[in-house]
């Protein structure tokens, strides 16, 4: 009975938050899902109408409600365009949590979010075992993006062109780091994120190399867990809280900033940890709030804090680079100019803007797993805009976006390589991207 009362209170709170929506439909013009399907139910306005009647809909057809709420990339485009300032993504997080509380979390998700991801040692072990075994499953595409297909796993991965797991994770290569602060200098905690640690290790190594080039000491502790966004996006706040509880004690120390190369991690730590950590207790809430104040995307750290500046226009290079604005970075954190400055600071790069640079690429984290056909359709539009520029490099300051761009470019046999802006800057500095252990 107490659970029902709690559910009722949460539904009433959602109703209060929906009052500001004017049903103006401006979200329609920016929603990548609506652009792909042209269905009102797929746009924010349609989903908010669903949420406003959530109690009735849950009783009538809870699975249908879950399915409709799941058809969203959580890119924040609607929220950024909303003239009433409705916190749409927060409402969707809450609605998904309510629905999953009502339905119960599927066993596989429960195992991943509550058992595997909060146990970094177990997660790392599974990747160490999986990395050598993938050679038996993957077939290299020999393309510019260095992707592979997995015909034997087509029942799970479909026809995706994926980047293989790195032979060794970043943290296994570097070990725990706690470098002494240089006199009068800065020290940062580096949070690579799951993809930076296990998939885009070359990108994470470039970040460490650049930080050391600028005489910034690095704190990279062992035992870091996922930031919790995959769990939260699936409606499992419990799983996210377990991951926060693992990370907070580890991320205590004498450092000036926490920097990440993943906007999703940055946004989650900066904006969501303080809110959700309240459920853990006062100490955790205060620790999360202090950490949030120091959290920065690495491009913002390099440009805003270290004052990396663009080269003079007369020194523009011959390598055409176009830039994709990642949703969590541009719409969630307001960071747009800093990655571009980093590209312009990297000889021989010449920035060439694409059309709809800030339109979602279609990845959406787990959305790519559950709705790959829609993800690929949205990604194709981004691919067309990239190729139209004639650029040789597509830059994205987000590992998830990099993965999506590699997939759609490889599917079309395009010779465009995908890089993080920090990788381009590291190359300009003459760094090989591999930070010494």
The pLDDT value recorded for residue 152 is 76
pLDDT tens profile 132-169: 888 888 899 989 999 999 887 777 778 899 999 999 99
Where do the domains of the chain lie, and which CATH numbers do they carry? 2-103 (1.10.1060), 141-303 (no CATH), 308-428 (3.40.50)
pLDDT of 435 higher than 60: no
pLDDT tens profile 88-110: 899 889 889 988 888 889 999 99
Do residues 112 and 138 make contact, with C-beta atoms less than 8 angstroms apart? Answer: no
Mean pLDDT of 332-358: 96
Who contacts 167 (Cβ-Cβ below 8 Å, separation ≥6)? Answer: 131, 132
Spatial separation of the C-alpha atoms in residues 342 and 309, rounded to whole Å: 7
Which residue would you say has higher pLDDT here, 314 or 73?
A: 73
Count of all residues that appear for the chain in the document: 437
Which residue would you say has higher pLDDT here, 241 or 44?
A: 241
Furthest-apart CA pair in the chain: how many Å?
71
The pLDDT value recorded for residue 214 is 97
Q: Is the pTM of this model over 0.85?
A: yes
Do residues 162 and 411 make contact, with C-beta atoms less than 8 angstroms apart? Answer: no
- Using a pLDDT cut of 90, give the percent of the chain over it: 69
Mean pLDDT of 236-265: 97
Residue 69 binned pLDDT confidence (cut-offs 50, 70, 90): confident
Spatial separation of the C-alpha atoms in residues 437 and 177, rounded to whole Å: 8
What burial letters (b/e) apply to 185-203, b meaning 16+ CB within 10 Å? Answer: ebbbbbbbbbbbbbbbbbb
The pLDDT value recorded for residue 119 is 96
The pLDDT value recorded for residue 365 is 85
Do residues 264 and 195 make contact, with C-beta atoms less than 8 angstroms apart? Answer: no
- Which alpha helices (DSSP H) does 282-361 contain, by range? 282-293, 298-300, 327-333, 337-344
pLDDT of 26 higher than 90: no
Number of H helices, E strands in the chain: 26, 11
The pLDDT value recorded for residue 437 is 35
């Amino acid at each position: 009975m107490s659970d029902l009362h709690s559910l009722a209170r949460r539904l009433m709170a959602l109703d209060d938050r929906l009052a500001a929506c004017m049903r103006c439909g401006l979200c329609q013009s920016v929603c990548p899902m609506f652009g792909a399907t042209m269905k009102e139910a797929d746009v924010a306005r349609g989903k908010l109408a669903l949420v406003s009647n959530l109690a009735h809909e849950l009783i009538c057809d809870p699975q249908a409600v879950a399915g409709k709420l799941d058809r969203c990339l959580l890119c924040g485009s609607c929220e950024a365009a909303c003239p009433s300032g409705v916190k749409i993504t927060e409402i969707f997080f809450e609605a998904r949590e309510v629905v999953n509380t009502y339905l119960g979390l599927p066993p596989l998700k429960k195992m991943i979010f509550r058992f595997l991801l909060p146990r970094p040692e177990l997660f790392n072990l599974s990747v160490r075992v999986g990395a050598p075994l993938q050679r038996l499953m993957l077939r290299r595409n020999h393309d510019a993006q260095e992707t592979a297909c997995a015909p034997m796993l087509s029942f799970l991965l479909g026809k995706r062109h994926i980047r293989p797991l790195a032979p060794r994770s970043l943290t296994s290569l570097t070990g725990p780091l706690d470098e002494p602060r240089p006199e009068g200098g800065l020290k940062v905690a580096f949070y690579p994120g799951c993809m930076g640690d296990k998939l885009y290790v070359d990108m994470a190594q470039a970040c460490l190399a650049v930080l050391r080039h600028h005489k910034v000491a690095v704190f990279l502790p062992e035992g870091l867990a996922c930031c919790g966004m995959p769990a939260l996006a699936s409606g499992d706040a419990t799983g996210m809280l377990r991951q926060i509880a693992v990370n907070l004690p580890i991320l205590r120390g004498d450092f000036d900033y926490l920097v990440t190369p993943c906007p999703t991690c940055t946004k989650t730590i900066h904006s969501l940890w303080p809110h959700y950590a309240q459920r853990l207790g006062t100490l955790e809430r205060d620790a999360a709030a202090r950490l949030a104040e120091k959290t920065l995307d690495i491009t913002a750290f390099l440009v805003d804090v270290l004052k990396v500046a663009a080269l003079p226009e007369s020194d523009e290079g011959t390598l055409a680079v176009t830039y994709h604005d990642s949703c969590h970075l541009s719409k969630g954190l307001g960071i747009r100019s800093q990655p571009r400055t980093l590209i312009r600071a990297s000889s021989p790069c010449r920035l060439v803007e694409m059309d709809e640079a800030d339109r979602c690429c279609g990845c959406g984290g787990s959305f790519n797993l559950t709705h790959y056909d829609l993800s690929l359709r949205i990604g194709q539009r981004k691919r067309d805009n990239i190729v139209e520029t004639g650029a040789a490099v597509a830059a994205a300051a987000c590992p998830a976006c990099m993965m999506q761009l590699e997939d759609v470019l490889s599917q079309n046999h395009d010779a465009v390589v995908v890089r993080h802006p920090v990788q381009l800057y590291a190359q300009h500095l003459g760094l090989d991207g591999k930070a010494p252990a």
